[in-house]
Chains A and B, each alone.
Chain A
Amino acid sequence: MRISTLFYTIRQGIRNIARNKLFSLASIATIGACLFLFGIFYAVLFNFQNIVRTAQEGVSVTIFFEKYTTDARMQEIGDQISKMDEVSKIVFVSADEAWEGFRDEYLGEYADGYTDNPLIDSANYQIYLSDVSMQPALVTYLESIEEVRKVNRSEMAAATLSGVNALIAYATAGIIGILFAVSIFLISNTVAIGISVRKEEINIMKYIGATDFFVRSPFVIEGILIGVVGSAIPLVLVYMLYNRVIEYIVGNFATLSQLLAFLPVEELFRTLVPVSIAMGAGIGFLGSITTVRKHLRV
């Protein structure tokens, strides 16, 4: 394609939008609304995943050993566990360390009465997971080791974190799916109207010998432009809103803000900008190409 033809096609695409202002605006607004919601859900999901990740790092499984377990065997078991994919970190706490920790935290000066270590059987491993949903499988494995006397874990924390994470992801996918369908439908209508307005011109083009590609391209460009403009507006809105919402939460819900670690807007936008623009352009392309194929038999 010649450069002049490319510019001509883009100009025609822009002309289509200008000729059909009302429907173009409606389409831009719908895509904008769709991607605005996407931006918000993405921001929530992204932050929630960060919070879950932080929380997961704190969820651990602790194993205690039978009396007869030798140090060498404990070391061997520790090595095996640390090699597992779902394990992010493993910390060995010796019986002495366990006693020191307990004494410092709970007994203070009253501990002076103890000459021997009462927690002599309490050497343990604290195992941290990279994915908290893998906890049940790991526990099953740990319980099957003969020398393991007891496995301590928090099923509740693991199940809740995994469940909420999945729920947000499914809800986001569902809502965005519906909005995408509406956007594609509206773009499709906009392009169909553009085609009917330019029917005479298209007929002349056909008689003169325009290729299918030449006739169709301005409409596809129109759809893509609508999609890209529709994606830019919500990005600006989300950018402006994000910091304000975080400031509001931090300012008004002090307890909550101590628990939650919010990500900076720059980190969020590193992914959100290309994803939103690609989705806007993709919706525009899909909406226009399907309509052009259906209504423009050239």
Chain B
Amino acid sequence: MGNEEIITLENVSKAYATGAPALNGVNLHIKRGEFVFVVGDSGSGKSTLIKLLLRELIPTSGHINVMGYDLGRLRHRKIPKFRRNIGIVFQDFRLLKELTVYDNVAFAQRVIQVSNKDIKRNVPSILATVGLAGKYKAKPRQLSGGEQQRVALARALVNRPGILLADEPTGNLDPKNSWEIMKLLEQINENGTTVIIVTHNREIVNAMQKRVVTMKRGVIVSDEEKGGYADED
């Protein structure tokens, strides 16, 4: 793990037009190569945090810096270039149903206009990394939930992002598949990618002994190295 800060949130608040603030004075510093769990109940501000890190939202106040980009000042036309530094996976995989495994992953490269020659080299390689080399012709509906999440991971990683954001990546998986995905994420992290996982999975968080940031009602209530899922009070 390096000492370089890759994500910095300073006194960040986000208020929506209606209702209470979703984030309130959040400070968070994440270094390159860290593996971080973000936990908390529904409405604790986890989703807002992810949207802010992706520059889907801009903070009402405070500063966010991700990989050298000041997100509060980032111009609209620069957002695509910024997002190429971040891979994202979702609970519901969000694969394109009519495309094969290969084409779902290749899609991520086509979108950023990688040449066909490089796509043909990169896609098989990343599919091998996630253990799906033999299933490149399959359609998503022919795969198990765990396999679909692996495709989503391959898609998120094929452009070699510095940061991987995973929003409830095991939310739709059984325990066996959940652990396999977590091991894969750990392996990806060991290869140098900063991994941030938003999850409700108490068992995994407690077992993995990684950094745990706990949020409640829009504020960070605890931030522990080798932490666990905080008990409800």
A80 at the interface (CB under 8 A from B): no
Q: Do residues A208 and B113 form an inter-chain contact, with CB atoms below 8 A? A: no
A207 at the interface (CB under 8 A from B): yes
Q: Do residues B83 and A5 form an inter-chain contact, with CB atoms below 8 A? A: no
Q: Do residues A214 and B116 form an inter-chain contact, with CB atoms below 8 A? A: no
Contact residues in B for A205 (Cβ distance below 8 Å): 111
Contact residues in A for B159 (Cβ distance below 8 Å): 208-209
Bitwise, A98-140 to B at CB < 8 A (1) or not (0) is 0000000000000000000000000000000000000000000
The minimal Cβ–Cβ distance linking B114 to chain A, given in whole angstroms, is: 9
CA distance A5 to B96 in the complex (A): 19
CA distance A160 to B88 in the complex (A): 73
B121 at the interface (CB under 8 A from A): no
The size bracket of the interface on A is: 10 to 19
Q: Do residues A210 and B111 form an inter-chain contact, with CB atoms below 8 A? A: yes
B94 at the interface (CB under 8 A from A): yes
Contact residues in B for A200 (Cβ distance below 8 Å): 94, 96
Q: Do residues B84 and A4 form an inter-chain contact, with CB atoms below 8 A? A: no
Bitwise, A206-235 to B at CB < 8 A (1) or not (0) is 111111101000000000000000000000
Q: Do residues A208 and B96 form an inter-chain contact, with CB atoms below 8 A? A: no
Q: Do residues B110 and A8 form an inter-chain contact, with CB atoms below 8 A? A: yes
Q: Do residues A209 and B115 form an inter-chain contact, with CB atoms below 8 A? A: no
The minimal Cβ–Cβ distance linking B86 to chain A, given in whole angstroms, is: 8
The minimal Cβ–Cβ distance linking B139 to chain A, given in whole angstroms, is: 15
B29 at the interface (CB under 8 A from A): no
Classify the secondary structure of B's interface with A.
helix
Bitwise, B99-118 to A at CB < 8 A (1) or not (0) is 00000000110111101100
Bitwise, A184-207 to B at CB < 8 A (1) or not (0) is 000000000000000011011111
Which one of A1, A201, A209 contacts B80 once the chains associate, using CB atoms below 8 Å?
A209
Classify the secondary structure of A's interface with B.
helix
Residues A207 and B88 in contact in the complex (CB < 8 Å), given A2-B115, A214-B113: yes
B176 at the interface (CB under 8 A from A): no
Q: Do residues A204 and B94 form an inter-chain contact, with CB atoms below 8 A? A: yes
Give the nearest-CB partner of B82 in chain A. Answer: A209
Residues A5 and B94 in contact in the complex (CB < 8 Å), given A208-B83, A209-B159: no
Q: Do residues B83 and A4 form an inter-chain contact, with CB atoms below 8 A? A: no
The minimal Cβ–Cβ distance linking A18 to chain B, given in whole angstroms, is: 12
Q: Do residues B81 and A209 form an inter-chain contact, with CB atoms below 8 A? A: yes
CA distance A200 to B83 in the complex (A): 17
Contact residues in A for B88 (Cβ distance below 8 Å): 207
B54 at the interface (CB under 8 A from A): yes
The minimal Cβ–Cβ distance linking A161 to chain B, given in whole angstroms, is: 57
CA distance A2 to B159 in the complex (A): 18
Residues A209 and B112 in contact in the complex (CB < 8 Å), given A201-B96, A204-B94, A204-B96: yes
B77 at the interface (CB under 8 A from A): yes
CA distance A214 to B83 in the complex (A): 15
Residues A209 and B84 in contact in the complex (CB < 8 Å), given A5-B110, A5-B113: yes
Residues 61-103 of B at the A interface (beta carbon under 8 Å): 77, 80-84, 88, 94, 96
Interface centre among A207, A210, A212, by most B CB within 10 Å? A207
Contact residues in B for A201 (Cβ distance below 8 Å): 96
Which one of A1, A2, A212, A214 contacts B111 once the chains associate, using CB atoms below 8 Å?
A214
Contact residues in A for B115 (Cβ distance below 8 Å): 2, 4
Q: Do residues B112 and A208 form an inter-chain contact, with CB atoms below 8 A? A: yes
Which one of B77, B111, B116 contacts A208 once the chains associate, using CB atoms below 8 Å?
B111
The minimal Cβ–Cβ distance linking A29 to chain B, given in whole angstroms, is: 27
Give the nearest-CB partner of A8 in chain B. Answer: B110
The minimal Cβ–Cβ distance linking B54 to chain A, given in whole angstroms, is: 7
Give the nearest-CB partner of B116 in chain A. Answer: A4
CA distance A1 to B112 in the complex (A): 11
Contact residues in B for A2 (Cβ distance below 8 Å): 113, 115
Contact residues in B for A206 (Cβ distance below 8 Å): 83
Q: Do residues B84 and A208 form an inter-chain contact, with CB atoms below 8 A? A: yes
Residues A209 and B83 in contact in the complex (CB < 8 Å), given A200-B94, A201-B96, A204-B96: yes
Residue ranges of B at the interface with A (Cβ–Cβ < 8 Å): 54, 77, 80-84, 88, 94, 96, 107-108, 110-113, 115-116, 155, 159
Interface contacts beyond A201-B96, A209-B83, A209-B159: sample of 7 additional A-B pairs, CB < 8 Å, sorted by A = A5-B113, A203-B94, A208-B112, A208-B155, A210-B112, A212-B77, A214-B111
11 A/B residue pairs, CB under 8 Å, sorted by A: A200-B94, A203-B94, A204-B107, A207-B83, A208-B83, A209-B82, A209-B83, A210-B80, A210-B111, A211-B77, A212-B77
Residue ranges of A at the interface with B (Cβ–Cβ < 8 Å): 1-2, 4-5, 8, 200-201, 203-212, 214
| CB-CB nearest 9 A-B residue pairs | A209-B84, A209-B83, A210-B111, A209-B80, A211-B80, A208-B111, A5-B113, A208-B108, A4-B116
